[in-house]
A and B are shown apart, each in its own frame.
Chain A
Amino acid sequence: MTYDIIIDGEHYRLDLNRADGRWSCFVDGREVEVDAVLVRPDVLSLRIGNRAYEVKCERVGADTHVWVGSERFAAEVHDPRSLRGRVREVDERGPKKLTSPMPGKIVRVLLSEGAEVEAGTGVLVIEAMKMQNEIKSPKKGTIQKILVSEGAAVNAGDLLAIVD
């Protein structure tokens, strides 16, 4: 099986096969001696040569991270046989969405539609776990839309406002 693996934005080609409980492993065409034991769900004990590693797999929302010891890597695994070629660009122009970073309650809407904002201007205040947090505008522009009202309960990822 061949995978296209993206670790912290860098692509690696991994050829990985298993026969009789042994792994054959090539990273970018270079053979690596691997011995793996899944000690419990999401935790691998890996031996690479004679070096031992504990690796954990963590998923939070849509993100997957692989922890090697206490080093964390953003990981994406693509099977090259499936369609791919997605390119995501960071675009500073165009409307920007303000989304809720956590579940909580809107305690204040600080600005109304049409208001001019600078990058970093507070737009709304969300309360969760007894802390009030200001949701700030990601760019300079105008508030195009406010989609929530004071007192509303929101979930992580909910669209709160649009700045253009």
Chain B
Amino acid sequence: MFKKILIANRGEIAVRVVRACHEMGITAVAVYSDVDRASLHVRKADEAYPIGAPAASESYLNIEKILAVATRSGADAIHPGYGFLSENAKFARACADAGVKFIGPTAAAMDAMGSKTKARQAMERAGVPVVPGTLRGLESFEQAEEVAARIGYPVMLKAAAGGGGKGMRLVLAPQELKPALEGARSEAERSFGNSEVYIEKAIINPRHIEMQVLADEHGNTVYLGERECSLQRRHQKVVEEAPSPMVDSDMRRRMGEVAVRVARAAGYTNAGTVEFLVDQSETDQKKNFYFLEMNTRLQVEHPVTELITGLDLVHLQIRIAAGERLPFTQNEVQIRGHAIECRIYAEDPDNNYFPSPGKITLLQAPSGPGIRRDSGMYEGWTVPMDYDPLLAKLIGYGTDREQAISRLTRALNEYFVGGIKTNISLFRRILSDPDFRAAKMDTGFLDRLLRRKVPDAPADPKAIEVAVIAAGIFAVLGSAASGADEHSLASESTRSELKTASNWKSAARREGMR
């Protein structure tokens, strides 16, 4: 087993891997960019090394710097997390050359699957159904025009190196093609250092279901059940759950077997995910699924699979990378209960979900039965503007879907992040939506929900009265801070409150005088 693992990532996933290391008695090494010195993953790690400027290309995407830290710290393996270098075959190869084990698939398997275009070619050869489109990157705008006209609009442009909705554009009509192609290319270049973009027929409002696979280095490959990931915004997953309410055990077995075939065709090892688009024509009971892509890494949403299988995917990734055999067979994989994950982003729901970096002034986190929280934030931390706005994942688990929803709803009501805007309120809307409750979901669900105005539910008059009184009390405590009355509700913590409340009051005064 490894003695020391370097985690080439930041945020909640870096914390997640640090925890797994500690559970396994392994020393965890963090790396951080200049704006991440105070980040949670640095605080939790055993060793931490600076790797440069905030721009990812100067730090978390910089292979030389990360390998230099691996050498300097004596790490014998590197966990890449998700995003950044996790699907970079060049990095996997560089790790192998430097004698450090990359915790993930081999560079060759990544080459086969990591590029969406190459994966499409391989799957077509293996007879796995794919969505119509180009099997290679687009060479010119004229080619894009020609292919789009042939397969018919709407079409989807996608970065070959893509993931997380970056470098991806839906094109509804020919005149949108050119700006969309330019936008997708520049975003792909910026995000992945590779501007290759391909085109495929857009299947409107499909379901997005993915299958978790796990393969050891001795030829054993298993599937661990599916995740329903249809709730997306800007092609970014927002809510994921396992199992999918639309998948029965027969469909699970069929999809799982295809996923295992896909993984075997690529010589895949370690944890991976095979994504499918599922069309759900009302007339066809059979529910067709098309191979979309394989994600050659640990997924953001892996906790829902962990909860329903009782397995720890990061532990297993580390054991597999250390050369151990899978400790169970396909038949021993049991699915039990239901889990739903909400991705808490630093985004402003009142302002078109623009990113909202800033300082977290107040944080109250939920806990209790059936709640798991994988978080990279803490009170007093300033969310940097340089990276993905994912702050934390809140996962609810229950014996069935209904209980998972009610636990998650309860936990969301306990969750409070002050000082920055987050999308927590969006999840309350989603979880109370009748279609969501009835599991009627597709990838267009969230856009439809967001187009509907937030119903102007008349606010509870009692709650308004409470708000009036509380606003006044906060202001009174402000005047106490200026020295008039200090025995107030005095506790140690009151003092800083007095200060902020007084700021509020002076701001209120300034406003009033304008």
A32 touching B469, Cβ below 8 Å: yes
Residues of A12-30 contacting chain B, CB below 8 A: 12, 14, 16, 18, 21, 23, 25, 27
A58 touching B466, Cβ below 8 Å: no
Stretch at the interface among B42-50, B243-251, B289-297, B411-419: B411-419
B residues less than 8 Å from A59 (CB atoms): 361, 418-419, 500, 504
A82 touching B471, Cβ below 8 Å: no
B residues less than 8 Å from A104 (CB atoms): 355, 385
What's the Cα separation between A59 and B419 when bound, in Å? 6
What's the Cα separation between A68 and B251 when bound, in Å? 45
B residues less than 8 Å from A21 (CB atoms): 487-489
Check A76 for interface membership: any CB of B closer than 8 A.
yes
B504 touching A18, Cβ below 8 Å: no
Min CB distance A39 to B, Å, is 8
Contact of B474 (CB < 8 Å), options: A1, A8, A44, A128? A44
B residues less than 8 Å from A14 (CB atoms): 468-469, 471-472
A residues less than 8 Å from B348 (CB atoms): 101-102
Min CB distance A101 to B, Å, is 5
Contact of B508 (CB < 8 Å), options: A7, A32, A76? A76
A73-B464 CB under 8 A given contacts A38-B477, A130-B166: yes
What's the Cα separation between A129 and B56 when bound, in Å? 11
A128 touching B467, Cβ below 8 Å: no
B residues less than 8 Å from A71 (CB atoms): 459-460, 463
B385 touching A129, Cβ below 8 Å: yes
B362 touching A34, Cβ below 8 Å: no
B420 touching A60, Cβ below 8 Å: yes
Residues of B259-311 contacting chain A, CB below 8 A: none
What's the Cα separation between A23 and B489 when bound, in Å? 11
B471 touching A5, Cβ below 8 Å: yes
A128 touching B385, Cβ below 8 Å: yes
Min CB distance B117 to A, Å, is 22
Contact of B476 (CB < 8 Å), options: A1, A76, A78, A86? A1
Stretch at the interface among A48-56, A89-97, A140-148: A48-56
Contact of B418 (CB < 8 Å), options: A56, A62, A82, A129? A56
Residues of A43-90 contacting chain B, CB below 8 A: 43-44, 46, 48, 51, 53, 55-60, 62, 64, 66-73, 75-79, 82-84, 86
Secondary structure class of chain A's binding surface, majority of residues:
strand
A129 touching B472, Cβ below 8 Å: no
Check B186 for interface membership: any CB of A closer than 8 A.
yes
B residues less than 8 Å from A8 (CB atoms): 459, 464
Min CB distance A75 to B, Å, is 4
With CB as the reference atom, state the residue of chain B lying closest to A6: B471
A residues less than 8 Å from B65 (CB atoms): none
What's the Cα separation between A40 and B362 when bound, in Å? 10
A38 touching B485, Cβ below 8 Å: no
A44-B473 CB under 8 A given contacts A8-B459, A53-B466, A70-B413: yes
With CB as the reference atom, state the residue of chain B lying closest to A61: B358
Check A152 for interface membership: any CB of B closer than 8 A.
no
Interface bits B343-377 vs A (CB < 8 Å: 1, else 0) = 00010100110111110011010000000000000
A77 touching B362, Cβ below 8 Å: no
A residues less than 8 Å from B190 (CB atoms): 127, 130
A46 touching B466, Cβ below 8 Å: yes
B362 touching A79, Cβ below 8 Å: no
B475 touching A3, Cβ below 8 Å: yes
With CB as the reference atom, state the residue of chain B lying closest to A101: B354
Check A107 for interface membership: any CB of B closer than 8 A.
yes
With CB as the reference atom, state the residue of chain A lying closest to B355: A129
Check B428 for interface membership: any CB of A closer than 8 A.
yes
Check B23 for interface membership: any CB of A closer than 8 A.
no
What's the Cα separation between A72 and B249 when bound, in Å? 43
What's the Cα separation between A48 and B354 when bound, in Å? 37
A103 touching B357, Cβ below 8 Å: yes
B residues less than 8 Å from A118 (CB atoms): none
A41 touching B496, Cβ below 8 Å: yes
What's the Cα separation between A52 and B388 when bound, in Å? 38
Check A36 for interface membership: any CB of B closer than 8 A.
yes
With CB as the reference atom, state the residue of chain A lying closest to B354: A101
A27 touching B419, Cβ below 8 Å: no
A residues less than 8 Å from B475 (CB atoms): 3, 77, 79
B residues less than 8 Å from A101 (CB atoms): 348, 351-352, 354
B491 touching A78, Cβ below 8 Å: no
What's the Cα separation between A55 and B493 when bound, in Å? 16
B472 touching A16, Cβ below 8 Å: yes
What's the Cα separation between A99 and B102 when bound, in Å? 45
Check B509 for interface membership: any CB of A closer than 8 A.
yes
Check B421 for interface membership: any CB of A closer than 8 A.
yes
B385 touching A55, Cβ below 8 Å: no
Check B332 for interface membership: any CB of A closer than 8 A.
no
A68 touching B463, Cβ below 8 Å: yes
Check A116 for interface membership: any CB of B closer than 8 A.
no
- Smallest CB-CB A-B distances: 9 pairs: A41-B497, A55-B470, A129-B355, A58-B418, A73-B467, A84-B512, A14-B472, A75-B471, A129-B389
In the complex, besides A10-B464, A38-B491, A128-B355, 9 extra interface pairs with C-beta distance below 8 angstroms are A41-B494, A46-B470, A60-B358, A68-B467, A70-B428, A71-B460, A79-B512, A86-B511, A130-B191
User: Which positions in A face B, CB cutoff 8 Å?
Assistant: 1, 3, 5, 7-8, 10, 12, 14, 16, 18, 21, 23, 25, 27, 32, 34, 36-38, 40-44, 46, 48, 51, 53, 55-60, 62, 64, 66-73, 75-79, 82-84, 86, 101-104, 107, 127-133
Q: List 16 A-B contacts (CB under 8 A).
A: A7-B471, A21-B488, A32-B465, A34-B473, A38-B489, A38-B497, A42-B474, A55-B470, A59-B418, A71-B460, A82-B509, A82-B513, A84-B512, A84-B513, A101-B348, A128-B355
